[in-house]
Structure 1
C-alpha cells in the first residue's frame, strides 16, 4: 500500500502570509485576532475576527482571475502556488491526469455572493456577474486550482466544516493509493462579511468579547466561545517513494492514520464519538497512545465542547498523558481552513522539534486534566502527532502524522 507524504505547503493565515512568516509568529505566540476591519461591524454582537491582513491578490494572480473569484478562492490559488513551489513541482511537466485536487469548504464564496445579491436587489439583474454561477460554490477552490494548474486527475470537495480540512487530506490519500501521482489538498475558507458573520452568530458558539487577548480561550474556565477567522493551507501530497526520488525536495511528514466519526443527536443519551475517531486513527496508523508525542486539539473554546474533547484525550492518553496545543488560538477558527493549517503546524513541529503555545488560556480548567502548552513554545522530540478537528453538527476527524522515514 502506498504511503502518503506531504512534500509542499502553502499558508495564508491571519498571523502570517507564507509558511515562514506564519511559523515564526506562531512560535512567538503572535496573534492575528483583532477588530474586524473588512466592514463596519460596530452594530454586530461579534466584534473580533482573525482577518488575513496584507494580502493583495493582484500582486500574485493575473488580472483576468480577479473578477471571477471570491476573496477565499484568491487566497486558495496563492496558497496552492506556494505549495507547488515549495515542493519544486512544475505542473506543466507532469501528465495532467496524474494530478488531482481535493479541498474542503465550509461556506463557499460568501463575500462574492453577498456582493451579487446587493447588485440584484439594489441595481437589477443585469448587474449580477455571470461568475456568480460558480464563484459562490463549495467546489470553486478545487475547480479554480485544477484549471490554473492543468490538473485533470481525480478531484473533489469535502463539506464538513472544521473537520473538512482533515477529511480532504484523507480523500487525497485514497487517490494516491489508487494510482494518482500527486494531489493538491487542504482547505482555505473565508466568510468575514456581513452575510457570512450573520449566518454564524445564531449558532451561539461565537465569542462576544471585545478583549482580543482573552476572547478565544480553549480549555480555559473562562471560555466563552470562539473567534471566527479566515485563511488556511494547501498541501502537496505524493506517494512517499516518488517523493524520495525527487532532488532537494522537502518531505515534511507522512499521513499515517485517519478516521472520522459522527456524533449522535443531542439528548439521545448516547456518547460523543470523538474518542472513537482517535482510537481508529491510531489503529490505522499502526501506533499506540504511548507513541504519540503531541495532540493538536480542536479547541472549540466552548465549555461543553471543550469538556467532551478533554475527556476523549484523557481517556485515550491518560490524565496529563500527552502535551496538547491549540495554535488556532492565534488565528481564530478558520472553518475548513483551520484543520489544514493545524496539519502544517504539526508538520513543522515534527521538523523543528518544538510545539507552539496556546495563547490566551492562562491555565486550563483543572477538571480537564490536560497538559496544555501555554505561555511559550515547548521544545522536545516530536515524531508522531495527532491532529483533531470537529465540525459543527457532529463531525469528528482525526489524523496521525509521523516523521518521514529516511
Structure 2
C-alpha cells in the first residue's frame, strides 16, 4: 500500500516560530503561557493564554494580502511557507494538480469577524470590508494556502475542534493513497479577542488560575482546566517513493489512524478514545508494545484526564508507556494543537528524546500513567501515538514511526 511520509514542518507556536526554534524551546521547557495582552481581560474570569507575540505579518506576507486575512490565516500561510522550504520543495517539483491541501479549523477568523461587525454596528454596512465574505470562514485557510502555492489538487477542511488536526492529516494520507503525491496539511487557530475569548470561556473548561507556570497541569491532582492558545502547524505530507526519489528529508511515516465519536452520556454513550487507539494500531499493523511514547490530549480537567488515562491504561497497561503533554507549554490550540503534537512526535523520533510536560511535578498516582515531567527523557524510538479530542465527543488517534 502507498506510504505517506512527512517531509516538511512549519510551526507557529507561542513558545517559538519555525520548527527548530520551537523544538529547542520545547526541549528547554520554555513556556509561552502568560497574561492575555491583546485586549484587557480584567472583566473576564480567565486571564492566561498561549499568545504569539513575535509574529509580524508584514515580514511574511504582502501588503495586499494582509487586509484580506485574519491572524489565523496569516499564521497558516507563514507556516506553509516554512514547511515547503523545510521539505526542499520548489514550484516545479510537482505539477499544480499533483498537490493538494487539507486543513482543520474550529473557530475561524474571529478577530477579523469581530472587527467588521463592530464597523457594521458603529459606522454602517458601507464600512464593512468586502473580505468579510470569506476571511472569517473556517475553510479559508485551505483556500488561501491553495492560492498562495498553486495547489490545484484535492482540497478539504475539517471541523472537529482539537481532533480536527489529526483528521486533516489523515485525509492527506488518504489523498496520497489515491494518487496525489503531495498534500499540505495541518491547522492553525487564533481567537484571542473578546468574541473568541467569551466563546472559549463559555465551554467551562478554561482554568481561572493566575500563575503562568502552574495553571495548565494535565494529569495533575487538582487540575481545574486548560489554558487556550493560538498557533498550530502545517506539514508537507508526500508519497514516500516520490520523496525518496528527490532526496527529500523524511521525518517519519503516518502509519495508522483511528477516529470515533462519543455518544451523549444521557443516551448511555461510553467514551470512545480507547477504541480510536486500537483502530489506529490495527491500521498501522502494530501491537500496543510497539508504541514507545504517547503524546496525550491532556485536557487538564479531572474528568477528561481520567477518561484519557483510563483509555491509555486499558490499551497499554498501567504506567507501561511514557506519556507527555508538551502543549502544557503553549496551551490548547484548537485544531492547531494536534498538528503541533505530530511535529513534536516526529522530532522526538528524529532526536531520540521525549519532550516534558511542564508545570506538573508528577501525575496523580490514581491515573496510573508514566508522565514525563521536568526534563526531556531519552528513548530508543519506536512508534509514537498522538491523541486528540474535540468538544462534542470527537476522538482521534494517529501512529507515527520512522520512515523506512
| Superposed pair shares fold, TM > 0.5 | yes
2:99 aligned partner: 99
1:130 aligned partner: 130
2:50 aligned partner: 50
1:329 aligns with 2:328: yes
Q: CA deviation at 1:266?
A: 2.1
2:273 aligned partner: 274
Q: Secondary structure at the match of 1:232?
A: strand
Q: CA deviation at 1:363?
A: 1.4
Which whole-Å deviations, capped at 9, do the CAs of 1:284-341 have from their partners, x for residues lacking one? 0000010000000000001000000000000000000100000000010000000000
Q: Secondary structure at the match of 1:350?
A: helix
TM-score under structure 1 length normalisation: 0.99
2:69 aligned partner: 69
Which whole-Å deviations, capped at 9, do the CAs of 1:242-285 have from their partners, x for residues lacking one? 111113x2100000000100001023333210000000000000
TM-score under structure 2 length normalisation: 0.99
2:202 aligned partner: 202
Which whole-Å deviations, capped at 9, do the CAs of 1:15-51 have from their partners, x for residues lacking one? 0010111001101111000000111111111100000
1:116 aligns with 2:116: yes
Which whole-Å deviations, capped at 9, do the CAs of 1:170-213 have from their partners, x for residues lacking one? 00111101111110000111111100011111111000001111
Q: Secondary structure at the match of 2:232?
A: strand
1:304 aligned partner: 303
1:168 aligned partner: 168
* Number of residue pairs the alignment of both structures matches: 404
Which whole-Å deviations, capped at 9, do the CAs of 1:351-395 have from their partners, x for residues lacking one? 000000001111111110000000100011112000000000100
2: CA distance between counterparts of 1:266 and 1:245? 50
1: CA distance between counterparts of 2:395 and 2:379? 28
1:220 aligns with 2:220: yes
2:258 aligned partner: 259
1: CA distance between counterparts of 2:347 and 2:266? 40
| Map 1:284-299 → 2, pairs under 5 A | 284-299=283-298
1:373 aligned partner: 372
Q: CA deviation at 1:94?
A: 2.3
Which moved further from structure 2: 335-344 or 199-208? 199-208
2: CA distance between counterparts of 1:381 and 1:362? 24
User: Aligned Cα RMSD in Å?
Assistant: 0.7
1: CA distance between counterparts of 2:121 and 2:91? 42
1:397 aligned partner: 396
Q: CA deviation at 1:93?
A: 4.4
2: CA distance between counterparts of 1:92 and 1:334? 33
Whether contact under 8 Å (1:92, 1:150) holds in the other structure is no
